[in-house]
Structure 1
Amino acid sequence: MRSPAPGSGVARPSATRLPPPGARPTTPPEPMRAMVRAMFPALAESNVVYLDSAATTQKPLPVIETVHRYHASRTANAGRGTYPWATGLSTQLTRVRDRTATFIGAAHPDEVVFTAGATAALNAVALSWGLAALTDGDQILYNPRDHASNVYPWHHLRQLLERFGRHIELVPYRITDAGEADTADIFAKITPRTRLITTSHVHHVFGGRTTLEELRGRIDPAILLCFDCSQSGGHLPVDVTELGADFAIFAAHKMFGAPGTGILYCHRRMHDRLLPFLPGGNTGVRLTETGLTATGMPDLLEGGTYNIPGILALGSALEVLESFDLGVIAAHNRELTLHLIDGLRQVPGLDFLPGPAHASCAVGYGILSFTLAGISAADVGFVLSELGFLVRTGLHCTSSNGDAEDLDSVRVSTHIYNTVEEIDRFIQCVMTIAEEVS
């Protein structure tokens, strides 16, 4: 099996060069591709094509330098001392929080909580809000095909509450062929006991985008909305206020940042309904004769030592994303997705999972999954890696129940550093594999 060797060109599109939906995307000049490639050292001298940005994004030089600078110069603990190294770090973290609030569309910086990742953020919602607020008979609507981090915490919460005699119901809802949450099904399943609807903003396997806008004005405003924005943050503009989110979750490592850092958005209306998460040093509580008393957000959910290099790296990642322009990144991913769909439609034996390939209009958010007849997803991924294409295969961190097996697939996910030429070579490789196994 032979295929053209993957190249190293990476495009940074400009707003003026992006074609309309449905047109074949164009590639910026080589100097611009080289400039973007040079920002990502892991790609600069590599002959591989990285198509797994939904798992984690490559890291630009400013992020790498920020982490190195913290460890190599003036390492200290923010908020723990009055000397310049410590106070300077506290000021920097405050600035990153302010910048993050602006980046995600939060109205107030105290609505931004730094966590150990998206998984930790979703568990914080389940334990800090769920344990305090839910009573016997309450319901949570969720998508069992979402990432396990947006499924397991709710099951864990239900098991914990059962130990204290409170029985809540987890109500699953369907997805559409386009890979979006089925809002008609959600609306049909809402009852007076519904307390929370949780969903992926962009699905990690299907690549469908869900805003729940069809439910606005039709449901009780007391029902809370939780959006897992792990796949949309850093890939397209996200405004949590526009979404009407009560909670929103972001993963820094999927938006050019370092692993081990997450963002939890908590609308101010939720602040007095939360229990402390990981109470200890630096937690926004004080000990009184009656127990722990909250002293304010976001400290209430930020116990322990901050992941200082991770948060500082997040600040640098946001700067890089803003320099590219989120609208440009979103348009670039859309065009690459549409081009990928058009090419893969010609491959014999290839089936698309739900997602943009089944959408009624030209949409795409940089994620596409498929299967190939006559060969397992794992074997397709192995052959592609031998040819220099790095993709994700398997169940993609979906919950391990009987319904998850139909998600076993090859997932392709793009970002600003991918090009049309890479997609063309990828399509040709998949076509060659399909022909050899048919």
Structure 2
Amino acid sequence: MSGLANEASGPVSRFASESAGLSGLREWQRALRAQFPIVTANPGIAYLDNAATAQKPQSVLDAVIAYLTSENANAGRGTYPWANRTTARVERARDRLREFLGDPDPDRSGVHFVSGTTEGLRAVARDWLAPQLRDGDEIVVPYADHSANIEPWREAAALARARGDHVTLLAMPYDAAHDYDAARLADLVTPRTRMIAATHVHHVYGNDMHVARLRAAAGPAVPICLDAAQSIGHLAVSVAELDVDFLVFSGHKALALPGTGAIWSRDRRGPSFAPGGWHGTPNTSGIVSLTAALDWLEAAGVDRIARWTRDLAARLTAGLSELDAYEVLGCQASLAADSVVQRRQGIVTFRHREIGSNDLGFILATDGFLVRADGHCQGDQGEKTSSVRVSLHVHNTEREVERLLTRLAELNSG
């Protein structure tokens, strides 16, 4: 683990110069980093795969242990005190999520817990949208985003087709910077548009997809379903500002345990959302962890987390842009650290022009840099060649980014 074996030693690259964006947050960040036991227990490792799953702060782990060792019971299936308190925990978790999302009308919205984003998007498509679809209807699908935000809408169309109703899937338009093209989207929307599927932060390019613009393009009547897997826990999210009808995310990417996530539904455009089928025992320990994670994030300051990871990503993209052997994916105008269009929300994805991405990922892992190296579950119109993705969170440091750039520079000639 030579790359990070000693934080105090080794060459310091020119990227160690003072950063105005980071300097005021260093003490705050050090205090938060110390709260991640897996990070402090592995000083030779730089965990850089937070878009796949995030590490957990001690308070989240403590909340789960306290629940499991003091009053673990099934929710909604008993009248004794432990069961009643577990049921109350689940209901409080719904209210806590509404509060975290800035829900402007919490008495009329819905919160349903699921295993994660994929199940949540599929439930919206299968249980809410599909029964309403009729012959000639249309769905706008983001084919250059994650497959989890593509396949459910295909399934909804297939369910309609099985009834004899033909539904057209229209491709979400993108501009040259890999943002949604709101002007072209406005031209796509017709009275037969029944859903627009969108992503808040792109899982490969790392850019904020400017979802708030989609409402003006779509008009007041068209429902919008938002994949927020890469935004919840990474930047501030306000459903009032976004004006979407569904927001779906995974808890494990937001500092909670795996196997939990949520669907928030506005319940204004169309019928109120309710997942279909018979539901068994909820993931109570996961829900407990999600509540604790939201509390931790709010106390830490999600806006400051976003500033920290954006500035780290800016430093990484600026360094990569000066290494000829690397191609940084996404908006090329945002590669400079001082770029006015810098919008990478802690995610930077790149390729080496000679070393295969899987091999590069293995090389980096041997040096203590844990990154993702594959195709990243891209949709039909996404990148076809594998790449290396670095995804940052608040426990990551400037020194980790500098050391990563130093190692990548050593590989610059292949």
Normalising by structure 1, report the TM-score. Answer: 0.85
Does the CA-based 8 Å contact 1:178-1:357 persist in structure 2? Answer: no
- Alignment match, 1:72: 69
**Percent of residue pairs identical:** 36
CA spacing shift, 1:215–1:230, aligned 2, 3 Å: closer
Letter in 2 for 1:93: V
Match status 1:336 vs 2:312: yes
Q: For residue 357 of structure 1, report the CA deviation from its aligned partner.
A: 3.1
Deviates most, 305-314 or 361-370:
361-370
- Alignment match, 1:306: 282
Letter in 1 for 2:342: A
Match status 1:44 vs 2:40: yes
Residues 250-399 of structure 1: pairs in structure 2 closer than 5 A? 250-270=249-269, 272-274=271-273, 276-280=274-278, 303-355=279-331, 356-357=334-335, 361-399=341-379
Q: For residue 343 of structure 1, report the CA deviation from its aligned partner.
A: 1.0
1:250-305 alpha-carbon deviations (Å, 9 max, x no partner): 1111110011111111112157354x52422xxxxxxxxxxxxxxxxxxxxxx321
Aligned length: 399
Distance in 1 (CA, whole Å) between partners of 2:308 and 2:30 is 17
Q: For residue 175 of structure 1, report the CA deviation from its aligned partner.
A: 2.6
Q: For residue 344 of structure 1, report the CA deviation from its aligned partner.
A: 0.9
Does the CA-based 8 Å contact 1:8-1:44 persist in structure 2? Answer: no
- Alignment match, 2:400: 422
1:383-414 alpha-carbon deviations (Å, 9 max, x no partner): 00010001111111123x4x445352111110
RMSD: 2.4
**What SS does the aligned partner of 1:113 have?**
strand
Letter in 1 for 2:355: I
Distance in 2 (CA, whole Å) between partners of 1:120 and 1:216 is 25
Does the CA-based 8 Å contact 1:394-1:409 persist in structure 2? Answer: yes
**What SS does the aligned partner of 2:406 have?**
helix
Distance in 2 (CA, whole Å) between partners of 1:265 and 1:29 is 34
Letter in 2 for 1:268: D
- Alignment match, 1:296: none
**What SS does the aligned partner of 1:92 have?**
helix
Distance in 1 (CA, whole Å) between partners of 2:233 and 2:352 is 30
Match status 1:413 vs 2:391: yes
Q: For residue 176 of structure 1, report the CA deviation from its aligned partner.
A: 3.0
1:138-190 alpha-carbon deviations (Å, 9 max, x no partner): 11111112111101111111122211111111111233343322223322322
Q: For residue 133 of structure 1, report the CA deviation from its aligned partner.
A: 1.3
**What SS does the aligned partner of 1:197 have?**
strand
- Alignment match, 2:100: 103
Residues 109-120 of structure 1: pairs in structure 2 closer than 5 A? 110-120=109-119
Does the CA-based 8 Å contact 1:278-1:304 persist in structure 2? Answer: no
Does the CA-based 8 Å contact 2:145-2:382 persist in structure 1? Answer: no
Does the CA-based 8 Å contact 1:248-1:265 persist in structure 2? Answer: yes
Distance in 1 (CA, whole Å) between partners of 2:261 and 2:285 is 13
1:186-219 alpha-carbon deviations (Å, 9 max, x no partner): 2232223211111110000111112333344454
Q: For residue 241 of structure 1, report the CA deviation from its aligned partner.
A: 1.6
Does the CA-based 8 Å contact 1:348-1:431 persist in structure 2? Answer: no
- Alignment match, 1:160: 159
Letter in 1 for 2:177: A
Deviates most, 172-181 or 155-164:
172-181
Distance in 2 (CA, whole Å) between partners of 1:23 and 1:383 is 32
Residues 47-62 of structure 1: pairs in structure 2 closer than 5 A? 47-62=44-59
Does the CA-based 8 Å contact 1:132-1:273 persist in structure 2? Answer: no
**What SS does the aligned partner of 2:263 have?**
strand
Unaligned runs of 5+ in 2: 9-16
Does the CA-based 8 Å contact 2:2-2:368 persist in structure 1? Answer: no
